[in-house]
Structure 1
Amino acid sequence: MEIKSAAVIGAGVMGSGIAAHIANAGIPVFLLDIVPQAVKDNGGDRSVVAKSAVDKLLKTEPAAFMHKDAARLVTPGNTEDDLEKLKDVDWIIEAVIENKDIKHALYRRVDAVRKPGSVVSSNTSTIPLEILLEGASDQFAADFMITHFFNPPRYMRLLEIVAGPKTRKDAVETIRQVCDVRLGKGVVACKDTPGFIANRIGTYWFQVAVNAADDLGLTVEETDLITGKPMGLPKTGTFGLLDLVGIDLGPHIAKSLLSTLPAQDDYRRVYRDNPLQTKMIAEGYTGRKGKGGFYRQTKTPDGARVRETIDLKTGAYRPTVKADLASARERGLKALVTHSDKGGQYAWKVLSQALAYAASLVPEIADTILDVDAAMRLGYNWKQGPFEMIDALGTAWFAEKLEAEGLPVPALVKLAAGRPFYKVENGRLHYLTTQGEYAVVERGEGVLLLSDVKRASKPVAKTASAALWDIGDGVLCLEFTGKMNALDDQVMALYRKAIDIIGDGASGAYKALVIHNEGDNFSVGANLGLALFALNIALWPQIEQATSEGQQTYKALKYAPFPVVGAPAGMALGGGCEILLHCDAVQAHAESYIGLVEVGVGLVPGWGGCKEMLYRHTYNKKRPGGPMPAIAKAFEMISTAKVAKSAFEAKEMLILRPTDGITMNRDRLLADAKAKALELAKDYKAPEPLEIRLPGPGARVALDMAVEGFHGQGKATDHDVVVSGELAWVLSGGETDITTVLTEDDLLDLEREAFMRLVRTPGTIDRIDHMLSTGKPLRN
């Protein structure tokens, strides 16, 4: 069975978000909701609820659609006039209110019109499948399952699937495959238990974290400091995350869990009514979607914005203060929980309960520890899952510590008997099963992870900031390894070494290169810390040499006698974007955010970015004739530091070519890039150098006038004018005229000259310093 069309019933936040993401995958989808009573009584658009939801999605930030054109695949309707349209739909998703009677009534109506064999699933997060199927026919039960998305559906990778004893295995496999490959989800099989995996553990985690903060007298800021980076959790911490997801959601989930959990479940012990949160909800302080939450933004009488934090004891707001606990500066989970200050005590109080609870639930909620760890990483953005965290503490130490404090030791921890839950043997990752034996972690077909390659081999070559790995079939992978995957001379050195190792791509052991890593971001560009150091001591010859070496290295990769494929995910900014512009092809993860952002630090792209964007727009068959439209487009993009918000937007901006590929599931990115490299390697020929004619000073004057206009309106700062002037000089061709043919080296010379003039200006040095200090651009 193939999913060619879908429908989502329920146009609330989750339902509309699911519909948007299905459209992101290129699948046409109906979005249906009720006809409001006011419309029935007074007339009007009977599909107004669904249409309003789509309109709202188009304005949502972060964007629900990967590209605005995806919205055209969503067809709004209503459940009274349009239910008949379900007769041609392959997958119907119910996302209505969490009320079993309402769901049952809807299922009966859906079952009467749907085509035989179509899959029906519920996005419920609280109602067991067994209850959802009460009164349903055997055929409906065979086609029914739970597909639990996480909010926001585009960005949260977890998809929990719950199948019943009557659910068709081929239906489950169809939905698993489409959610994995086309929607890009990490699909986890759950058992039909309350809260499934992620919310069962996550709700417990929130409860013990809030309880412990109250018991030990931590402030909101101190709590969020410890339950953020030190624990490997989202930087929002506990209270910041509650604000993000909505404080009012907690009581609903708690009520559902308490009504369905076994009598002996430990959540019943730790659950507490929270009068402060009840008061906050009643007064509209439900988090970011309300008037504020544990944090809120207010304005002083003079209009300045001030961040305030609630006092957990008094309930009154006060100015937010930066928390400072020695335990938070420790490296490693064990060092954190053994620290003597209140932060260390708090960390242990939370972890001892939450990790033990998670361990006690296997195999009740899932068959393997793999599913539990994956659910918490993908659904709650934890760096490590619970069992990986126990390994970081040491299973023997964890068990002894629990026993010493009179706390129960979970059966699975006892079964480990001091052994780790994960181990590497013969270059492969193994996990501990519920039978007490180790099994190999198997990857699905089409999944290739660099981390697996690294466990099983040594690098072909490496420098201080990069490594070269053999990923099989004659393909090498170059990985950035520096902080934030920043680029420096050590990366450039390994690029050049890779060119030497691969050679002509035909006679040696290797025939292609993929540039990829598994960091949160592909690369944020050049190492600004090194650059600022060089600027402060006026190492101008060294700076120019580094710029020139970067240009020539990227050019050498572009014209290498073998194919080079970029495989980015996350941010690819500045020099990280420029390397992609020089690749023969790019296979990008859909959530790639790519752009030339150098103006933010007072510079112009200096490693060929200006040149390549000029070429992209000049040779774009869809653009108007003459050089000026191409120059204007490149100038607009670079001068505003525009970053594509998805790989689809990057194609629209010509950062990616129409022929470049997009992979929805990040785990499949390297395999897809490798396949593209191998395809290109067949009869590969390096690209021919391009020539260009540019108008020179006349074009530069036109661009300068436009910038001066923005400056006069207050939309461009003084130093923006300086930087934009240098960019205009490069893109217009310097002192050339339209009769002169410019080579690639001519354009690189212009870039380098402009770059070197800018690095000498105080405004640029201030911008670089400010970016390193605050992580934000300086508007000077």
Structure 2
Amino acid sequence: MTAIQKVAVIGAGVMGAGIAAHVANAGIPVVLLDIVPEGAAYRNVVAETAVQKMLKADPAPFMHKRNAKLIQTGNIEDHLDLLADCDWIVEAVIERLDVKQSLYRKLEAVRKAGSVVSSNTSTIPLEMLTGGLSDAFKRDFCITHFFNPPRYMRLLELVTSPQTRPEAAQAVTAFCDHRLGKSVVVCKDRPGFIANRLGILWLLAGVTEARRLGLTVEEADAVIGRPFGIPKTGVFALIDLVGLDLMPHVLGSMVKALPETDAFHQIDRDLSLVEKMIAEGYTGRKGKGGFYRINKAGGGKVKEAIDLQTGDYRPTQKAQLESLDAAKAGGAAALLAHADKGGRYARAVMARTLAYAAALVPEAADEVAAVDEAMRLGYNWKQGPFELIDKIGTERFVQVLKTEGIPVPALLETAAGRPFYRIDGATREQLGPDGQYHAMRRPDGVVMLEDVKRTVKPLVKTASASLWDIGDGVACLEFTAKMNALDPEVLKGIAKSIPVVQSGFKALVIYNEGSNFSVGANLGLALFAANIAAWSQIEELVEKGQEVYKALKYAPFPVVAAPSGMALGGGCEIVLHADAVQAHAETYIGLVETGVGLIPGWGGCKEMLARWQANPKAPKGPMPTVGKAFETISVATVAKSAAEAMDHGFLRPTDGITMNRYRLLADAKARALAMAESYQPPQPATFRLPGETGRVALEMAVKGFRKLGKATPHDEVVAGKLAYVLSGGDAADVTVELTEDDVLALEREAFNDLVRHPDTLARVEHMLVTGKPLRN
């Protein structure tokens, strides 16, 4: 079949609507249909209401509000004819076999030959879904199990049958990979597939074992969270997030679907406390609370946790266990070996969960890598189950299972103390159920820096940055500090990399595989310097940053920034200085310095002026340019997607967006090589700025916001400094041409003034301690 160019989604519930929104995010037209409610005056009300809700939702299902225009709404009684030209039809209706099969028979009559039909189910086997349907339908049918929310969760589980055409599976796989940004994991037609089969057992064990062993919810979440590379939500906060009311339904389907011999049935399923909570309206964050709640009685705001034994709420307490202290030094292995209740809980939950994972290969998946990928992307584990077992040690883990009386799965017996993953030369291999190691290959078009780093040594290395040769004459600069915060060692890494790239490479890509591109400058270092009055060090750092970023911009080779996740403050400024950007779709970028009482000091003000001045769609003249830059920077605007970043000027219309995170480096490298063929460094910008008249106009606007209570006293101080810089300072006038260096000098002056201000220092300290801005 040809490439998928139009999609239909049947079912406008949370999942169906979210899938439709994400297809629209890919720029693909999509038809969204649902039932006609009894007595409805407007027959498309269900689908149309779903779209309107998504436009207001946070987190937003749409990467840009304009994407909603790609969704055509309708109903399944009047508009099935709209499916006639759709290449892929996704069914996301209620989990009832009779309802689904009735719909499939209707689809058979209207869909075009060769169009793919898939179900989003995770509870009904594919064999049952297609029972009694035509061979032609079976050939075009598969299961595509998205995870909620579809925009943000990168996992898609694909299930096919022996009757499914390979071409149909390939078309869906390619579309979900390239256009929707999904990692497609092939699963067998087993209950719960991979992620939910394992994840549900993990959550059930987490809840029941905490009650049995007498842990608090805070202790349980602390034990099951970070020591195992699992988000700090652990078990209980995660259930609050997804909703307690889902647990009985999901557990019920698993109990019904899995054979009595399955290890799932050996876990205590007493959820009487959960059922009581649901009955009282405690369904999690979407309700009035769950295992955790915010008590607002008396006008206060106290975070509370439920007592698992009594069902009463009490203020939360920090978990303090000897096993957690042991885990800080010795990791998951030390925690599993500890004798206190934290160690016993870790063994009761994680040992059982990891053993269950080993039992799923080859029953539910052919490869251990598929299970690991499913849990990393479906449940946000930092490492998959088999990566965790390797970290613990397979032989040591088997001993834990034997001590706990947990049956040792055949795969662990086959491993016989060997790791599940190993490196052979430059190739990563995984252990198969046959006892042999097999090479792991990336999909075509995927380049990962982690693979490169196994085969070569860095060309440049500092404490916070490394430069790598990624082949074909392209070098890659990687940040390596915690959260990729920027510090003098990053600036040193950039400065040392420029001559290396110039002497032996065609282009440079700035990229890393952390959760965030960069959260900005290391505020802790700045606060320390301020506290000891080392103002000269701060001034030198600001000047050095400007110098390095300028050198990057005017280097004699193309520089392509490839951000993903947060690119804030100084991280945003690096992106602004690149010749081109290839951004992951989920890039959250902005100049956020005003939130800590500062202004951008590494060229951010200058670059935003240049962006808006050069934007062909922006109004011309000094004041509109200054106004747009001021509007963006003064309120610390952060784009919530790469698509939104173009609206704010952080990305140019010519910059690229990659949907699949795994394909970002390859796409950035290709862009860099294309630019290198005829590269010329950019011409420096010049500015004609309004000076005092412009500054006064901006300051008056801020005073107005202050009177309305929308700006604080220090907001006014910071905005005044920003207005001074953007309007060109005291000497500016529309008849005077200013250079980039002139604006950089104003940035330095304003930044150095603000960093000495006590209210700025209070903001910085508050952000470091609480992670939240101070409104002073």
Deviation at 1:135, TM superposition (A): 0.9
SS in 1 for 2:144: strand
Q: Which residue of 2 aligns with 1:407?
A: 406
Q: Is 1:764 the counterpart of 2:760 in the alignment?
A: yes
Deviation at 1:215, TM superposition (A): 1.3
Letter of the structure 1 residue corresponding to residue 357 of structure 2: A
- Any idea what the Cα deviations from partners look like across 1:248-274, whole Å, max 9, x if unmatched? 111111111111212210111114131
- Alignment of structure 1 residues 654-693 onto 2, 5 Å: 654-693=649-688
Q: Which residue of 2 aligns with 1:517?
A: 512
Q: Which residue of 1 aligns with 2:297?
A: 300
- Of residues 187-196 and 289-298 in structure 1, the stretch that sits farther from structure 2 once superposed is 289-298
- Separation in 1, partners of 2:532, 2:400: 53
Q: Which residue of 2 aligns with 1:139?
A: 136
Q: Which residue of 2 aligns with 1:489?
A: 488
Q: Which residue of 1 aligns with 2:538?
A: 543
- 8 Å contact 1:567–1:588 — kept in the other structure? yes
Q: Which residue of 1 aligns with 2:462?
A: 463
* Distance of aligned partners of 1:322 and 1:400 in 2 relative to their CA distance in 1, 3 Å threshold: closer
Q: Is 1:128 the counterpart of 2:128 in the alignment?
A: no
Paired residue for 1:321, among 317, 321, 333? 317
- Separation in 2, partners of 1:407, 1:103: 39
- Of residues 761-770 and 331-340 in structure 1, the stretch that sits farther from structure 2 once superposed is 331-340
Q: Which residue of 1 aligns with 2:369?
A: 370
Q: Which residue of 2 aligns with 1:429?
A: 428
Deviation at 1:405, TM superposition (A): 3.5
- 8 Å contact 1:733–1:750 — kept in the other structure? yes
- 8 Å contact 1:428–1:456 — kept in the other structure? no
- Separation in 1, partners of 2:283, 2:757: 47
Paired residue for 1:571, among 551, 566, 585? 566
Q: Which residue of 2 aligns with 1:213?
A: 210
Paired residue for 1:223, among 220, 223, 238? 220
SS in 2 for 1:612: helix
Q: Is 1:531 the counterpart of 2:532 in the alignment?
A: no
- Any idea what the Cα deviations from partners look like across 1:549-575, whole Å, max 9, x if unmatched? 100110111011000000010000000
- 8 Å contact 1:14–1:152 — kept in the other structure? yes
Identity of paired residues, percent? Answer: 63
- Structure 1 stretches lacking a partner, 5+ long: none
Letter of the structure 2 residue corresponding to residue 204 of structure 1: L
SS in 2 for 1:467: strand
- Separation in 2, partners of 1:352, 1:426: 32
Paired residue for 2:162, among 162, 165, 179? 165
Q: Which residue of 2 aligns with 1:476?
A: 475
Q: Is 1:311 the counterpart of 2:310 in the alignment?
A: no
Q: Which residue of 1 aligns with 2:61?
A: 64
- Alignment of structure 1 residues 249-648 onto 2, 5 Å: 249-301=246-298, 303-329=299-325, 330-331=327-328, 332-503=331-502, 508-648=503-643
- Any idea what the Cα deviations from partners look like across 1:635-682, whole Å, max 9, x if unmatched? 111110010000000011110000100000000000000000000000
* Distance of aligned partners of 1:271 and 1:139 in 2 relative to their CA distance in 1, 3 Å threshold: farther
Q: Which residue of 2 aligns with 1:21?
A: 22
- Separation in 2, partners of 1:11, 1:771: 40
- Any idea what the Cα deviations from partners look like across 1:204-229, whole Å, max 9, x if unmatched? 10111112101110011111111221
- Of residues 767-776 and 596-605 in structure 1, the stretch that sits farther from structure 2 once superposed is 767-776
SS in 2 for 1:376: helix
- 8 Å contact 1:447–1:671 — kept in the other structure? yes
- Separation in 1, partners of 2:601, 2:587: 22
Q: Which residue of 1 aligns with 2:37?
A: 36
- Separation in 2, partners of 1:348, 1:568: 39
Q: Which residue of 1 aligns with 2:177?
A: 180
- Separation in 2, partners of 1:205, 1:542: 50
- Separation in 2, partners of 1:415, 1:48: 56
- Separation in 2, partners of 1:281, 1:142: 42
- Of residues 748-757 and 318-327 in structure 1, the stretch that sits farther from structure 2 once superposed is 318-327
- Separation in 2, partners of 1:174, 1:523: 35
- Separation in 2, partners of 1:149, 1:610: 41
- Of residues 387-396 and 329-338 in structure 1, the stretch that sits farther from structure 2 once superposed is 329-338
- 8 Å contact 2:185–2:370 — kept in the other structure? yes
- Separation in 2, partners of 1:152, 1:740: 52
SS in 1 for 2:583: strand
Paired residue for 2:49, among 48, 52, 62? 52
- 8 Å contact 2:429–2:438 — kept in the other structure? yes
- Of residues 448-457 and 267-276 in structure 1, the stretch that sits farther from structure 2 once superposed is 267-276
- 8 Å contact 1:627–1:694 — kept in the other structure? yes
- 8 Å contact 2:461–2:493 — kept in the other structure? yes
- 8 Å contact 2:157–2:186 — kept in the other structure? yes
- Separation in 2, partners of 1:672, 1:737: 43
- Structure 2 stretches lacking a partner, 5+ long: none
Q: TM-score, normalised by structure 1?
A: 0.98
- Separation in 2, partners of 1:268, 1:464: 50
> Cα RMSD over matched residues?
1.0
- Of residues 21-30 and 246-255 in structure 1, the stretch that sits farther from structure 2 once superposed is 246-255
Letter of the structure 2 residue corresponding to residue 397 of structure 1: R
- Separation in 1, partners of 2:401, 2:323: 21
- Separation in 2, partners of 1:720, 1:573: 19
- Separation in 2, partners of 1:404, 1:717: 61
- Separation in 2, partners of 1:488, 1:273: 51
- Separation in 2, partners of 1:668, 1:526: 27
Q: Which residue of 2 aligns with 1:96?
A: 93
Letter of the structure 2 residue corresponding to residue 176 of structure 1: T
- Separation in 1, partners of 2:194, 2:437: 22
Deviation at 1:283, TM superposition (A): 2.2
Letter of the structure 1 residue corresponding to residue 417 of structure 2: G
- Separation in 1, partners of 2:527, 2:586: 30
- Separation in 2, partners of 1:307, 1:663: 39
Paired residue for 2:107, among 101, 105, 110? 110
SS in 1 for 2:702: helix
- 8 Å contact 2:347–2:404 — kept in the other structure? no
- Any idea what the Cα deviations from partners look like across 1:23-46, whole Å, max 9, x if unmatched? 00111001100000021xxxx110
- Any idea what the Cα deviations from partners look like across 1:701-759, whole Å, max 9, x if unmatched? 01111111111111111111111100000000001111100001000000000000001
SS in 2 for 1:565: strand
Letter of the structure 2 residue corresponding to residue 477 of structure 1: C
SS in 2 for 1:176: helix
Deviation at 1:533, TM superposition (A): 1.1
- Separation in 2, partners of 1:625, 1:580: 24
- Separation in 2, partners of 1:262, 1:578: 56
- Separation in 1, partners of 2:285, 2:352: 29
SS in 1 for 2:504: coil
- 8 Å contact 1:427–1:457 — kept in the other structure? no
Letter of the structure 2 residue corresponding to residue 196 of structure 1: F
- Separation in 1, partners of 2:225, 2:21: 30
- Separation in 2, partners of 1:127, 1:677: 47
Deviation at 1:339, TM superposition (A): 2.4
Q: Which residue of 1 aligns with 2:231?
A: 234
Q: Which residue of 2 aligns with 1:718?
A: 713
Q: Is 1:653 the counterpart of 2:648 in the alignment?
A: yes
Deviation at 1:396, TM superposition (A): 0.7
Q: TM-score, normalised by structure 2?
A: 0.98
Deviation at 1:63, TM superposition (A): 0.6
Q: Is 1:156 the counterpart of 2:157 in the alignment?
A: no
